[in-house]
Structure formats: structure tokens, C-alpha cells
Amino acid sequence: MDALCPSPPGPNRPQRHYERIGGRTGTSLCQTLIHLLKGNIGTGLLGLPLAVKNAGLVLGPVSLFIMGIIAVHCMRVLVKCSRHLSVKINRPSLTYGEAVQYGMENVSWLRRHSQWGRRTVNLFLVITQLGFCCVYFVFLSDNVKQVVEAANATTLSCHVNFTNQTQVLVPSFDSRIYMLFFLPAFVLLVFTPNLKYLAPLSLIANLVMTASLILIYFYSLTNISYPINLPKVGRAKDYPLFFGTAIFAFEGIGVVLPLENKMQKPQKFNKVLYLGMGIVTFLYISLGTIGHMCFGEHIGGSITLNLPNCWTYQAVKLLYCFGIFITFALQFYVPAEILIPPVVARVSERWETPVDLLLRTILVIFTCVLAILIPELDLVISLVGSVSSSFLALIFPPILQILTFHTEGLSPLMTVKNVVISLIGLVGFLTGTYSAIVEIIARNALKHEEALSTFMVQ
């Protein structure tokens, strides 16, 4: 195949024909920046104050900064490898899975199994995106449950002490009941035939989520109690939970190639990447630190759960929930496009639409069932981040660079760097997954004991 394709440029040479991918109809620098920010700012951001608590007030922000540098570097590596391979095989663009597939074809003894590279990446993409959908179920149920119960409380002051909120909010329905309430709405949402129909709602969602974040920052900054006596370094056994939450938040690598491929001038994507991820990293570190300083040991799985019960911050929760609800369709789009078309292609034309809708319904129900089984927001985020995000964001890109450039004089220092990053991701995957599962089992056992005690008393 190499004989039929143009000779690829070296790893440090400019790729002059790469601009043809975006073309004049592609997105501008500003539009790409907005999409990049949207793809990285979601529920993961709101869970970072708890992550900082798990790591410590000093170690947490430092770890977030280092993880941000590594995550952005891996995004840059993925783009570089995709560009190199797309020129080599004479294709305008590659998906993440295709980049890994063609990277494996560069190695003779892996060439026969290159299809498994694409399938593995697609598997982790499906796990990650469906994991995001599970998180959205838990996030919406927790926040709406709190709003509904706070509406029945007598206190509506914006100065309510957050440490007393658990005494005010007497549970009336389990959060899993709220998940079932949301299930039909999510099913109808994913029936949307084309995402362009959701564009106006997506724009509104972006605006209200931005306004909500501003108010969250305002409340957190103006309610920090001094002096601050919080641990500078957290417990060692909690650090893997920090890793899972942090890598969940930084796992925007799935949107990198689609955004870069659709740019008018994709050779300028690096500027957008560094600027966008610089903003994202600043938001992550600042909100994580400020949120932990404000709420201390009482911080919840999402910082919205710690906001007071007055109408202003109840509105903040509902507005952010609306934004997350609309985002569900965007996150669901990726696994739907990977899983559904191969099945629909096997049925007759008259059954294509019913089968497509049925499969979408089954996938949404599946994510709802998983959320009901693990209704702990912080643990769901940490588990999804540890299991799948660590592979996509930290493990696969360095390996792909080794496969792509191993025949072109990749320096030993570069190889060592890639191996170290992949090992960091692998250790984070193992320890984070183990810690999240152990904590899930422990919390479920505690809930079972409490329920049994309550039943015995009655």
C-alpha cells in the first residue's frame, strides 16, 4: 500500500496538503474553541472540589496541573499521529479508532490484528460515553431531588449554613425514583433524528450553564471561612478516587480529532488546543480548590449539592440540569453511531426505523439501570474515569506515537516518555477502579445495614 501512496513527511516536517481536510466550509478558530470548551466542561468540573478533598488542598491542585499538562500533551500526540497517518494512506481524516488501526499496520507483527486496535478504541469510547450518560442520570436525580425537597422546607435563606442542609432536607423519594421519572424524557430526546435540531437548545444550554458556573464561583468565593484548616495532603487510599474523578473531567480527547478534522485551517489547531485546554485547566484547578475551601469536609459529589436552598441557587441547579439534559443527546450520539448502524444494516428497509428506535431505547434503559445500581455520583464519576478515560486519555496516545514513528527514528527519550505516561495511566486505571469498587461495596453495605436497622425499629 505504501508504494501506491505519497511518501509521508517526517515527524518534524510540515504537512502541506493537510489543509484540504477542513476546506472553506470548515469551522473557524473561534467556533472550534467554543466546541472544545463545551466538550470538556460538564459534570466532571462540578465533581472536582470533592476530588481536591481526596487529594488534599495542596496536592490536589498540583496534581490537577500536572494531569492537565499530560492530558493536553496526549491530545497533541493523537493529532500529530492522525495527521501523519492520514497523509501516509492518502485519506482526508481519521477517527481515533482508525488512527490506532493504521498505526498498528506500521508494525509488521501487529498488521494482521490491526482491526482489533480500532475495535478496542471504539469499545472504550462506548464505555466512556455511556458512562457519561449514567453520570447524567445520577446528577439530574440528585439535584432535582434536592430542589423538590428544599421547596417543601421552611428555610429559603441564601445564608443557610451548608452543614445543616442534611437536617433540613428530609428524603421523600429515593433518588432512583427520580431516575425513572427522567427515563421517558431521555428516550424521547435521543429519538431526535439529527443533532442539528437540538442546536438552538444546545446554545441555550451553553448560556445557562455558563451563568450557573458564574453564580457557583460567586457563592464559593464569598463564603470561604478563614482561617482554613484543611489537610494539605489527603489520605493515600483516597488518592485513586481523585485520579478517577480528575481524568474523567479531562477526558475530552474523544472530541479532539472530529474538531480538528472539521477546521478551515487544521494546521492551526494546536493554538486552539493550548488556549482551550489552558482555560479548562484553570477552571478545573480554581473551582476544585475554591469549592473545597468553601465547603471543606462537607463537599458533595457535585458542588451544586452544597448550594443553599434559596430560590437563586435552586434556579442555578435547575439551569445546570437543563444544560446537562440537552448534553445527554450529544454524549449518546457517539455510542449510538458505533453500535446501531451495523445492526440496522442487517434488517430490511421497512424495519430500519423501528429497529433504530428500539436499540436507542434499550441503550438508554441500560444506562438508567446502571445508574440505579450505583446511585453515588462521586463514585460513578471516579469509576468511569478510572476504567475507560484513563485508556483513551493517557494509555493509547503514547502507544500510538510509538507505533506511528517507530520506523522513523523515534528517540529513546521520547520512547521512555511515552512508556512512563502509559504506565501512569495503567496504574491509575488499576488503583482507581479497585478503590471505586471497594467504596461502592462499602457504601451499599452501610445503606443495607441502615435500612435493616430502620425496619427492625419499626
pLDDT at 226: 84
State the pTM of this model: 0.83
Q: Is the pLDDT of residue 268 over 80?
A: yes
Number of domains in the chain: 1
Whether 6 is covered by a domain: the verdict is: no
User: Which pLDDT belongs to residue 327?
Assistant: 85
Per residue in 340-399, pLDDT (tens digit) is 888 888 888 888 888 999 999 999 999 999 999 888 888 899 999 998 889 999 999 999
pLDDT at 164: 42
Task: Please check whether residue 80 lies inside any domain of the structure.
Answer: yes
pLDDT at 41: 82
pLDDT computed for residue 50 by the predictor: 94
Residue 458: predicted pLDDT: 59
182, pLDDT greater than 70: yes
Q: What does the pLDDT read at residue 382?
A: 92
- The domain of 258 spans 27-331+347-457
pLDDT over 80 at 2, yes or no = no
Q: What is the pLDDT of residue 153?
A: 67
What is the reported pLDDT for 53?
Answer: 94
Write out pLDDT tens, residues 402-442: 999 987 777 889 999 999 999 999 999 999 999 999 998 88
In a domain, 300, yes or no: yes
Q: Look over the chain and give the mean of its residue pLDDT values, rounded to a whole number.
A: 84
pLDDT, residue 172, reads 52
In a domain, 13, yes or no: no
Q: Is residue 183 part of a domain?
A: yes
Grid coordinates in use for 20? 484540504
Residue 8: inside a domain, yes or no? no
Band (7; pLDDT cuts 50, 70, 90): very low
Shortest CA distance to 20 belongs to which of 204, 301, 261? Answer: 261
- Evaluate whether residue 263 is within a structural domain: yes
Instruction: Classify residue 414: in a domain, yes or no.
Output: yes
CATH of the domain at 122: 1.20.1740.10
